Amino acid sequence: MSEMNYRDALNLALKEEMRRDPSVVTWGEDVALYEGSFKVTRGLLAEFGEERVKDTPISENTIVGVTVGAAMGGLRPVAELMTVNFALLAMDQIVNHMSKARYMFGGQTFLPMVIRMPGGGGSQLGAQHSQSLETFFMHCPGLRVAYPATPADAKGLLKSAIRDNNPVIFLEHELLYNSKGEVPEDPEFLVPLGKADVKRPGEQVTIVAYARMTVLALQAAEELAKEGISCEVLDLRSLAPLDEPAILASVGKTGRAVVVEECWRTCGLGAEIATRIFENCFDSLQAPVRRVSGLDVPMPYSRKIEKLCIPQKETIVQAVKAVMQGKY
C-alpha cells in the first residue's frame, strides 16, 4: 500500500494499463503536452509517445466519435473530456452511437472504450461548469457509469473500465483530486464495476452515497456516532449497473435509509434508489426514505450561495436525525 492522492491514483491506473496492453491509448484536449487540465495524464506523453497519447481539437463530439470508431477497430481508447459539462456537445455520439453500437450490430462488435470526465460543483466555476450530470448517462441503456470516491477505488475502477468490453463513462469529482488515501501497489488490483462497498458498517441507518457525497456521508456518520446513532455508509462506486442487492441488504438490516446525491433532485438518482427501496424493503422500513439532493437551480457563482445548493455534512446529519424520528 502507498498513500497517494486521487489524481495520482488515476494516473497510475492509466500508466499500468498502457504498459500492460499496447492497444490502450489516450487522447483529449491538452492531455499530451499540457498533461491534462487536472494533471491526470502527467508523464504519459514522455513514456508512451505521441502515437498513443494525442492532443485533440476542441470538439467533444469528434473526440467521442473517433473513440467509438477506434474501439470498434480494435483499440482500447481512453478519452478525456475537459469537464462533464462539455459532454453535452457530444451527446449525439454518446447516446446514439457509443451506447448502441453493440446492440445495433447484434453483439458482433465490442466497444472497449472509456470517456473520463471531471465534474461536480463547489469550485466557484459558475452555472455552466459546475453541473452533476451523472443521471443523464445512467438513463441511457448500454453505458456503464463509474464514479469513485476514494483514491483506491479510482485506481481499481479505472483499470476495470479500461479492461471492460463495454463503453464506460468514468466520472471524477473535481474536489476529490487532492484527497489522499491508501492505494494498493499491485498492478492487478481491480475494483469490479457494478459492486457497491460498505465504507462504514452500522446498525440503525443506511446512508447511500457516491463520489464526494460518500466523503461527506462518512464525516456525518462520525459526528452522529458521538450521539449514539450508528450509520452504515454504502458507497455505490458504480451507478450503472447499480448494485441493487447491496442497497437492499443494507436497508433490510438497518430499516432506515438516507440517499445522498449532488445532482438535481428532480428525476435524480436518489428518486430511483428510494423507489427501489420502497418496492423491495417496504415491510422492513421503520421510517420513510429521505433524500438529500442538490437544489433544482443553476449553480450560483457566489461561494456562500453555491454551498447552499450542494449537500453538506450538516445537511446529511439533519436528514439522519429526521429519519431516526420517523419524519420525512
Residue 257: CA atoms inside 13 Å, Cβ hemisphere, count?
Answer: 29
Return the ∠ at Cα 137 (arms to 135 and 139), rounded to 5°.
70
Q: What is the mean pLDDT of residues 253-269?
A: 97
Give pLDDT, residue 326. Answer: 81
Q: pTM for the full model?
A: 0.96
Q: What is the mean pLDDT of residues 246-275?
A: 97
Give pLDDT, residue 87. Answer: 97
The span from the CA of 114 to the CA of 68, in Å, is 10
The span from the CA of 208 to the CA of 121, in Å, is 19
Give pLDDT, residue 175. Answer: 97
Residues in the chain: 328
pLDDT band at 327 (very low <50, low <70, confident <90, very high): low
Paired residues of 76 in beta bridges: 24
Residues 6+ apart with CB under 8 A from 34: 55
Q: Is 129 a known active-site residue?
A: yes
Per-residue burial over 122-157, b = 16 or more CB atoms within 10 Å of its CB, e = otherwise: beebeeebbbbbbbbbbebebbbbbbbbbbbbbbbb
Reported as a single tens digit per residue, the pLDDT across 6-50 is 999 999 999 999 999 999 999 999 999 999 999 999 999 999 999
Residue 304 one-letter amino acid: K
How confident is the prediction for the chain on average, in pLDDT? 97
Give pLDDT, residue 324. Answer: 95
Describe the strand order of the beta sheet including 197-200 as a list of residue ranges: 197-200, 231-235, 205-209, 257-264, 290-294
- Cα→Cα distances 184→15, 127, 177, Å: 15, 37, 17
Cα 49 from chain centroid (whole Å):
29
Q: Is 60 a known active-site residue?
A: yes
pLDDT of 2 over the 70 cut: yes
Give pLDDT, residue 294. Answer: 97
Give pLDDT, residue 116. Answer: 98
Residues above pLDDT 90, as percent of the chain: 99
The three grid cell numbers given for residue 147, joined into one nine-digit string: 464514479
Q: What is the mean pLDDT of residues 225-250?
A: 98
pLDDT of 58 over the 70 cut: yes
Return the ∠ at Cα 106 (arms to 100 and 107), rounded to 5°.
80
Give pLDDT, residue 7. Answer: 98
Name which of 288, 227, 223, 225 is nearest 255 in CA terms: 288
Query: Of residues 129, 134, 173, 306, which has the active-site annotation?
Result: 129
Give pLDDT, residue 79. Answer: 98
Q: What is the mean pLDDT of residues 68-75?
A: 97
Domains of the chain (ranges, CATH numbers): 2-183 (3.40.50.970), 197-324 (3.40.50.920)
By the 8 A CB rule, do 207 and 217 touch? Answer: yes
Helix (H, G, I), strand (E, B) or coil at 215: helix
Q: For 39, phi and psi rounded to 5 degrees?
A: 65, 25
Paired residues of 87 in beta bridges: none
Note the maximum CA span of the chain.
60
Reported as a single tens digit per residue, the pLDDT across 88-135 is 999 999 999 999 999 999 999 999 999 999 999 999 999 999 999 999
The three grid cell numbers given for residue 314, joined into one nine-digit string: 450538516
Helix (H, G, I), strand (E, B) or coil at 91: helix
The span from the CA of 48 to the CA of 51, in Å, is 8
pLDDT band at 1 (very low <50, low <70, confident <90, very high): confident
Please, what is the end-to-end C-alpha distance for the chain in angstroms?
42
Residues 6+ apart with CB under 8 A from 328: 287, 288, 290, 322
Query: Of residues 16, 35, 60, 262, which has the active-site annotation?
Result: 60
